[in-house]
Amino acid sequence: MNGKRVMITGGLGFIGSNLAHRLVEMGAIVSIIDNLHPNGGGSLHNIDGIRDRVTIGRRNPTLGQACPNQDVVFNLAGLSSHMDSMEYPLDDAQNNVMAQIELLEGARRYNPGVKIVYASTRQVYGKPEYLHVNETHPVRPVDVNGINKWTAEEYHRLYHEVYGLRTCSLRLTNTIGPRMRIKDAKQGFIGEWIRRVLTGEPFEVWGGEQVRDFTYVDDAVEAFILAAQCDESDGQAYNLGARMPYKLIEVAGMLCDVAGQGSYVVKSFPTDRKRIDIGSYWADYSKANEDLSWNPTVELCEALRLTLDYYRCRLEHYT
C-alpha cells in the first residue's frame, strides 16, 4: 500500500482507526472520513500517534468529492448497535443505507476505477441454521441493523454487477482489540465486559452456553488490506472468523484469568435482547482463506491480553 491513496470511512472508529495506523505504517496516503456519531465508535484518541499523518473530514456532502483521487476506499462507516437500531431505526437506516448509496454513487460517477472494501457483518445471517456458517447460508436478519447492513452489502454487489465497480464485502464476526468502544455495549458485549473488569465492577453473562468466534482487530485489518489488493474479490462477500469458537461462559472465565482480576454473574437474557439474539455463531472463513490467503493468527487468549494492555493505560479516554 506504499504510496497508495486510501480513504477510510469511519476511520476514527474501532476497526477503521486500527486500519489507519497500519496503512500509515505501510506508507499509504490516508484520509479519514468520520461523522463522529454519538452512538458509533469514533474518537480522536483512536488516532493518537498518527494524527499529523492523516487528513480528516466529516462525511457528506463531501463524500462524492472526496472519493475521486483515491485508489482504495475502506468503507467502514456505519452503526453497529443492534439495540440502537431497534430504538432508532431511522437513524440506523440513514447511516447504514442512505449514506452507502451516496458513497457508491460518488464512486461510480467520479472514480469508477476505485476499489471499495465494505465492512459488513455476520448479523445478515440472523439465527444460524447450521454451524459453521458459510457465505451461502440463508440471509435472514433478526434486527433492523442486520437488514440495513444487508441492504448496503446488496448495493455494493449491485454496483459491481451493473457498473463494474470494484466492490467487495467482509462479513465481520465479533472483533476485539484496542480502540473499540468500551464505555457501553454498543460495539458488542465484550467491550462492556473489558471495561467492567478494569474498573472492578462485576459484568453480566447472559445465558453463557452460546458459542461465538472472535477475530483480533489486527487480523481483521489484514483482511481488509488483502481484499483491497485482490482482483478476485471484486463482487464477492467473505466471512471473517476464528480458528476456535468459545462458549461465552468460557470467554468470561478466560477474560478474568488473563486480567488477573474481575468477576461476573450469569443471568438469563433480558426480554428485549432475547428476541433479537442470534444464539450460537461460528463462521466458516475458508472462502477468505482461499481467495485472499487470509488466516486469523491471534488466539482469543492473546487477543484479550493485548486488548487489556491497551486500555489499562488509556482508560480515561474510553470510559
Contact between 11 and a copy of itself by CB under 8 A: the answer reads: no
**Shortest distance, position 91 Cβ to a copy of itself, whole Å:** 10
Footprint on residues 260-319 left by a copy of itself (CB under 8 A): 275-276
Grouping H, G, I as helix, E, B as strand and the rest as coil, residue 215 is: strand
With 0-12 / 13-18 / 19 or more C-beta atoms within 10 angstroms meaning exposed / middle / buried, residue 106 is buried
Contact between 144 and a copy of itself by CB under 8 A: the answer reads: yes
Q: How far is CA 74 from CA 29, 67, 139, 281, in A?
A: 13, 11, 24, 26
Grouping H, G, I as helix, E, B as strand and the rest as coil, residue 210 is: coil
Q: Which residue, 31 or 85, has its beta carbon nearer to a copy of itself?
A: 85
Which strand (E) or helix (H) includes residue 293? none
In the stretch 111-140, what mask flags binding to a copy of itself with x, by CB under 8 A?
Answer: ----------------------------x-
* Contact (Cβ atoms closer than 8 angstroms) between residue 42 and residue 34: yes
Contact between 103 and a copy of itself by CB under 8 A: the answer reads: no
Footprint on residues 166-205 left by a copy of itself (CB under 8 A): none
Q: Which residue, 87 or 201, has its beta carbon nearer to a copy of itself?
A: 87
Contact between 86 and a copy of itself by CB under 8 A: the answer reads: yes
Binds a copy of itself (CB under 8 A): choice among 105, 234, 250, 277: 105
3-state helix vs strand vs coil in the chain, percent to 5: 45, 15, 40
**Shortest distance, position 148 Cβ to a copy of itself, whole Å:** 7
How many whole angstroms separate alpha carbon 243 and alpha carbon 300?
A: 9
Considering only 2-10, 96-104, 233-241, 246-254, which stretch makes contact with a copy of itself by CB under 8 A?
96-104
Short-list 70, 18, 5, 76, CA closest to 46: 18
The answer to whether the peptide bond before residue 132 is cis (omega within 30 degrees of 0) is yes
**Shortest distance, position 301 Cβ to a copy of itself, whole Å:** 36
Cβ atoms within 10 A of the Cβ of 316, count?
A: 7
**Nearest 5°: CA angle at 137, between 209 and 87?**
65
Pairing of strands 115-121, 214-216: unpaired
Grouping H, G, I as helix, E, B as strand and the rest as coil, residue 206 is: strand
Q: Which residue, 153 or 222, has its beta carbon nearer to a copy of itself?
A: 153
Binds a copy of itself (CB under 8 A): choice among 10, 16, 41, 141: 141
* Contact (Cβ atoms closer than 8 angstroms) between residue 239 and residue 283: yes
**Shortest distance, position 3 Cβ to a copy of itself, whole Å:** 33
Considering only 5-13, 32-40, 85-93, 260-268, which stretch makes contact with a copy of itself by CB under 8 A?
85-93
Q: Which residue, 144 or 211, has its beta carbon nearer to a copy of itself?
A: 144
How many whole angstroms separate alpha carbon 174 and alpha carbon 155?
A: 23
Binds a copy of itself (CB under 8 A): choice among 12, 93, 185, 304: 93
How many whole angstroms separate alpha carbon 9 and alpha carbon 171?
A: 17
Binds a copy of itself (CB under 8 A): choice among 47, 72, 97, 225: 97
Binds a copy of itself (CB under 8 A): choice among 44, 98, 244, 266: 98
- Residue ranges that bind a copy of itself, judged by CB under 8 A: 86, 89-90, 93-94, 97-98, 101-102, 105, 139, 141-144, 147-148, 150-151, 154-155, 158, 161-162, 275-276
